[in-house]
């Protein structure tokens, strides 16, 4: 499930954009590596599987109106774990498969971008909540 | 928990995380680090592995289906012992920081938490820093080093500031390892948090110094041994130390017990009783690092010290800071008034020795005279020193 670009704030649209970038980077990495070699297939499978989680969880975050709502917190936590797994396995691919290092680093850069945006958005919204009379 | 019992000497790390992909990543990240890594999926297995695997450090996820990380921390608090814990989670940063504080309040040895995503370098850097900081030094590993007779003593000579005469030594513990020596600054603080271990180390040092007496004992020379104030909680300390010397040919009169970590002095009545009993048996008792930390005039007023050791920080600034000079003079006068010998440690320059001698400080110790040395080197140094003193008395008051 993709994040819905038709609703939400400009931050949500920006988030959906970097998620799309992550997906594209992951596809490029998948094309680059020989998935039959040295367990790389397993590593790519983790990335593909967790990308599905990322789509679902980003959609949940975009749909949420309260960043401190327990369900939203849990979605953010799960998203960080999913992104963490993608980052971890992209790093392992970069270490084990030097030819794919550039593509793997692009995946990691996209992951970091999403992490930064999600955290910044959560902090900004939480602060706005606190300042609301 | 005693590390290394039934295990080899490698460092062990345990990760408790219900995410299988993270567990696999973690194990692969540890490859080549020299650490033995174990990954388990549930807190139940993790708590079991605390006993069977005896990890030095645990990486703990904060969220599990049946138990949150705080529940695991509470369980860890009663079982982790020396094991350090790193929280690792994708939860919001303030939640992670708060959980870390809770762990600290529970008495768990918390390390700074890691926010997911983490990289291979994050994990490896943390393990490397953990090793470099000497965190593997635990009461268990120290006890093992004592039991296996790995610790050694280095002796730093003490000299009469008036005559230059060799007066004895201070015995200092050294921990040799394959890569060099573990600094006392790394392991002594661990000892001084543990009453049983403080006692064990004290008796070890006393017994070894007595066995090596041929190196330092000449005429009336004494050997000073550091004694943590924690040891004074043991009412039978005087008996224990006297028994330790039995059969060594040495007597309590050959030793000075330098009392350290006086912050730990509690129950003044008992402390007075134990110190008095030590004095009655013949041990001299010295108040170490006087003028800093928690050593106070109250200790001098109440407790039967027969030596005051002026802290090295005053000696180091003696020539440049008039206030230090006045404080040192005052402490020496205080010692004279109370009938206690004054010892200045950390003397590094001849001018410092001269000024201290002029002030009538009685004994000096420091790199100016000699660095701590092994027993064989000490014998040579002593012979050379005595010979020098006969030929040209120097390194004394002009």
SS3 B115: strand
Residue A40 has pLDDT above 80, yes or no: no
Question: Alpha-carbon dihedral of residues B201, B206, B211, B217, nearest 10 degrees?
Answer: 140
pLDDT, position B224: 97
Could you give the CA distance from residue B226 to residue B260 in angstroms, rounded to a whole number? 7
Chain B nearest C-alpha distance from A111 (Å) = 9
CA distances from A119 to A9, B98, B170 (A): 15, 17, 57
pLDDT, position B398: 38
Q: Which one is predicted more confidently, A3 or B284? A: B284
Indicate yes or no: CB of A73 within 8 angstroms of CB of B63: no
CATH architecture of B12-132: 3-Layer(aba) Sandwich (3.40)
pLDDT, position A6: 45
Residue A53, phi then psi, degrees to nearest 5 = -60, -40
Contact B278, B237 (CB under 8 A): yes
- 15-74 of A, contacting B, C-beta below 8 A: 46, 50, 73
The answer, for B31 touching chain A at a CB cutoff of 8 Å, is no
Chain A nearest C-alpha distance from B74 (Å) = 22
- Least CA distance to A111: which residue of chain B? B117
Give the number of other CB atoms < 10 A from CB of residue B93: 13
Could you give the CA distance from residue B239 to residue B241 in angstroms, rounded to a whole number? 6
For helices B93-105 and B69-79, give the axis angle rounded to 10 degrees: 20
CATH class given for the domain over B139-391: alpha beta
Residues in chain A with CB shorter than 8 Å from the CB of B89 are 77, 80
Residue B156, phi then psi, degrees to nearest 5 = -110, 120
Per-residue buried b or exposed e for B253-286, using 16+ beta carbons within 10 Å of the residue's own CB: ebbbbbbbbbebbeeeeebeebbebbbeeebbbb
Give the number of other CB atoms < 10 A from CB of residue A117: 17
Q: The tokens of B192 are what? A: 């001084």
ipTM field: 0.81
Confidence of residue A39 (pLDDT cuts 50, 70, 90): low
Candidates A73, A77, A89; nearest CB to B25: A89
For helices B184-191 and B195-211, give the axis angle rounded to 10 degrees: 120
Domain ranges (residues) in chain B: 12-132, 139-391
Residues in chain A with CB shorter than 8 Å from the CB of B90 are 76-81, 83-84
Chunked mean pLDDT (size 10), chain B, 398 residues:
48 92 94 90 89 89 78 82 87 86 85 92 91 74 90 96 95 86 81 87 97 94 94 93 95 94 71 93 90 70 88 91 92 92 95 96 96 96 86 50
Q: Percentage of chain A with pLDDT > 70?
A: 80
Question: What does the pLDDT look like over A42-77, one tens digit per residue?
Answer: 889 999 999 999 999 999 988 887 777 888 888 988
pLDDT, position A3: 46
Q: The tokens of B132 are what? A: 């470099």
SS3 B156: strand
Residues facing residue B255 across a β-bridge: B223
Could you give the CA distance from residue B77 to residue A72 in angstroms, rounded to a whole number? 30
Instruction: Please name which of B272, B279, B305 lies closest in space to residue B290, comparing C-alpha atoms.
Output: B305
Give the number of other CB atoms < 10 A from CB of residue B71: 12
pLDDT, position B75: 85
**β pairing state of B84-89 and B109-110:** parallel
Contact B329, B318 (CB under 8 A): no
- 81-120 of A, contacting B, C-beta below 8 A: 81, 83-89, 91-92, 95, 111-112, 115, 119
Chain A nearest C-alpha distance from B28 (Å) = 8
- In eight-state DSSP terms, residue B366 is S
Q: The tokens of B207 are what? A: 């017994």
Q: Which of A41, A42, A85 best tests the B interface by mutation, with the highest count of B CBs <10 A?
A: A85
Confidence of residue A25 (pLDDT cuts 50, 70, 90): very high
Indicate yes or no: CB of A77 within 8 angstroms of CB of B92: yes
The label of the residue with tokens 């369900």 reads A71
The answer, for B124 touching chain A at a CB cutoff of 8 Å, is no
pLDDT, position B59: 95
Could you give the CA distance from residue B142 to residue B370 in angstroms, rounded to a whole number? 28
The answer, for B18 touching chain A at a CB cutoff of 8 Å, is no
DSSP states of A88-114 as a string? HHHHHHHHH-GGGHHHHHHHHHHHHHH
Could you give the CA distance from residue B344 to residue B323 in angstroms, rounded to a whole number? 16
């Amino acid at each position: 499930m993709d994040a819905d670009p038709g609703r939400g704030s400009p931050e949500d649209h920006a988030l959906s954009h970097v998620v799309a970038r992550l997906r594209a980077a992951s596809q490029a990495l998948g094309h680059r590596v020989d998935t039959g070699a040295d367990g790389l297939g397993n590593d790519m499978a983790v990335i593909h599987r967790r990308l599905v989680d990322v789509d679902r969880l980003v959609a949940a975050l975009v749909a949420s109106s309260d960043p401190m709502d327990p369900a939203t917190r849990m979605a953010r936590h799960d998203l960080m774990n999913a992104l963490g797994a993608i980052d971890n396995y992209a790093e392992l691919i970069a270490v084990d498969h030097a030819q794919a290092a550039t593509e793997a680093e692009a995946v990691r850069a996209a992951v970091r971008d999403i992490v930064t945006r999600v955290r910044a958005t959560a902090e900004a919204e939480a602060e706005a909540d606190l300042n609301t009379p | 928990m005693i590390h290394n019992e039934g295990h080899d000497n490698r460092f062990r790390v345990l990760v408790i995380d219900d995410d299988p992909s993270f567990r696999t990543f973690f194990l692969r990240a540890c490859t080549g680090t020299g650490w033995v890594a174990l990954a388990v999926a549930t807190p139940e297995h993790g708590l079991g592995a605390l006993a069977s695997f005896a990890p030095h450090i645990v990486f703990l996820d904060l969220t599990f289906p049946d138990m949150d990380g705080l529940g695991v921390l509470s369980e860890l608090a009663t079982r982790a012992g020396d094991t350090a814990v790193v929280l690792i989670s994708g939860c919001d940063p303030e939640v992670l920081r708060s959980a870390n504080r809770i762990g600290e309040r529970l008495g768990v040895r918390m390390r700074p938490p890691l926010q997911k995503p983490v990289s291979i370098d994050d994990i490896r850097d943390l393990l490397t820093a953990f090793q470099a900081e000497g965190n593997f030094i635990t009461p268990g590993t120290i006890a093992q080093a004592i039991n296996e007779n790995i610790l050694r003593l280095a002796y730093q000579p003490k000299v009469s500031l008036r005559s230059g005469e060799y007066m004895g030594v201070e015995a200092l513990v050294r921990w040799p390892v394959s890569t060099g020596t573990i600094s006392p600054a790394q392991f002594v603080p661990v000892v001084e948090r543990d009453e049983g271990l403080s006692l064990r180390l004290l008796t070890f040092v006393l017994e070894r110094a007595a066995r090596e007496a041929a190196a330092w004992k000449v005429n009336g020379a004494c050997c000073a041994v550091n004694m943590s104030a924690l040891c004074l909680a043991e009412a039978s300390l005087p008996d224990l130390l006297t028994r330790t010397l039995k059969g060594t040919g040495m007597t309590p009169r050959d030793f000075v017990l330098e009392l350290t970590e006086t912050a730990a002095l509690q129950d003044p009545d008992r402390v007075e009783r134990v110190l008095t009993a030590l004095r009655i048996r013949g041990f001299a008792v010295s108040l170490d690092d006087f003028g800093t930390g928690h050593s106070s005039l109250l200790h001098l007023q109440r407790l039967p010290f027969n030596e005051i050791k002026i802290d090295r920080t005053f000696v180091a600034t003696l020539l440049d800071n008039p206030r230090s000079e006045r404080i040192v003079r005052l402490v020496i006068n205080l010692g004279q008034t109370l009938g206690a010998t004054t010892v200045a440690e950390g003397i590094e320059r001849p001018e410092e020795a001269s000024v201290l001698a002029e002030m009538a400080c009685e004994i000096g110790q420091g790199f100016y005279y000699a660095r701590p040395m092994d027993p064989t080197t000490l014998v040579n140094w002593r012979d050379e020193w005595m010979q020098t003193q006969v030929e040209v008395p120097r390194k004394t008051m002009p």
